[in-house]
Amino acid sequence: MKHIQGSYLPRLRSLGRLLLISLLSFSFSCREKKEELQKANTILEMQRLVEEISQYARARKPGFVIIPQNGPELAFVGAEPSAAMRESYVQAIDGFTVEELLYNGTYRPDQARLEVLTNLKALRPIFVADYITDSSLYRAAWDSIAQQGFVPFIRTPSNYYYELLPPEPPTTNQNAINALREAQNFLYLLNPNRFPDKQTYIQQLANRWEDVLIIDAEYKGEWLTPQDVALLQKKPNGARRLVIAYMNIGAAERYRYYWQPNWRLGNPIWIQKPYPGYADEYYVAYWYPEWKSILYGSPNAYLDRILAAGFDGVFLDNVEAYYYLVH
């Protein structure tokens, strides 16, 4: 026993430590691989969802416009800009929309995204919604975006959540717009609740000169009608423009018609994660068939309602859920 204690036990302890270290390293390696696999799966599923939405909509309305919000890296295999282009994704969309690219309060260019979008602009138009805290920077911010070959929209603190009509664009385009690439400016108004009634909301939008209107398809729970949309598709001079409807594909919203009283985090299982800063929204596992059936595939589905109302296209929000679900 003395010999064992004096000679073999330290070796056993050393072997035990090595074994523990090996097990921990293996555990961390497995966890990292699992996280990488989860990330790869969420990326691929989001790319597929956007492609499915595009295919479904265009089969029913050829030329229907598809614009994802943020996530331009999804245009590449594995969402890696250094990788090959995912051609099926690029073909499924008509443009990219991003926020805070050059201005986020002040001039703070996001060089990584700027490089990606500069490479993509030859393929699809880029729409940029930047944010300034000093209204005197409005024209400088507008010109900075336009000089990059992108289509500008500028918002200020009072309109951070896209609730108000901003100043008219510095330049007015009186020409008809029949394709997204023809647009020189756009209006981004996602929350119409500050307008006193639907008629006022529609009329004030109709009086605007922007080439593209990106708006919610509802006014306080009441869906816009084909007549409403047809009115908005005309500029004040009668020239055609595009009217695009908002649709959240990466998060469920408690205030939408599809939300059920018994739903909560984890019920249904695909309601997966709180959305920071938005108490009424939850990130969803968007690959679940139940969620997809809410988005498209029947007369009461969200996209089908947008198509029935006569919109020219759909603006897909929260495509970046692929990232936030696993981070």
Q: Where are the beta strands (DSSP E) in the chain?
A: 65-68, 96-107, 126-132, 151-155, 186-189, 212-215, 218-219, 222-223, 242-248, 251-253, 271-275, 278-284, 313-317
Q: Which residues does residue 291 pair with via DSSP β-bridges, in sequence order? A: none
312 domain residue, yes or no: yes
168 domain residue, yes or no: yes
138 domain residue, yes or no: no
Q: Which amino acid is at 117?
A: L
34 domain residue, yes or no: no
- Span 174-183, mean pLDDT? 97
Q: How far is CA 3 from CA 6, 9, 16, in A?
A: 5, 9, 19
Over residues 184-209, the pLDDT tens digits come to 999 999 999 999 999 999 999 999 99
Between CA 225 and CA 236, with CA 231 as vertex, the angle to 5 degrees is 160
47 domain residue, yes or no: yes
Question: Which residues form the domain of 226?
Answer: 43-94+161-324
Of 53, 115, 118, 112, nearest to 88 (Cα)?
A: 53
Between CA 241 and CA 249, with CA 245 as vertex, the angle to 5 degrees is 145
Contact (CB, 8 A) for 283 and 321: yes
pTM of the model: 0.89
Of 239, 208, 228, nearest to 306 (Cα)?
A: 228
7 domain residue, yes or no: no
When divided into structural domains, the chain yields a total of 1
Per-residue pLDDT, 171 = 87
Over residues 236-290, the pLDDT tens digits come to 999 999 999 999 999 999 999 999 999 999 999 999 999 999 999 999 999 999 9
Three-state DSSP at 189 gives: strand
194 domain residue, yes or no: yes
Contact (CB, 8 A) for 219 and 198: yes
Per-residue confidence at 30, pLDDT binned at 50, 70, 90? Answer: very low
273 domain residue, yes or no: yes
Taking 80 as the threshold, does the pLDDT of residue 26 lie above it?
no
Q: Which residues does residue 253 pair with via DSSP β-bridges, in sequence order? A: 281
Burial class (CB in 10 A: 0-12, 13-18, 19+), 84: exposed
Residue keyed to tokens 């995204």: 113
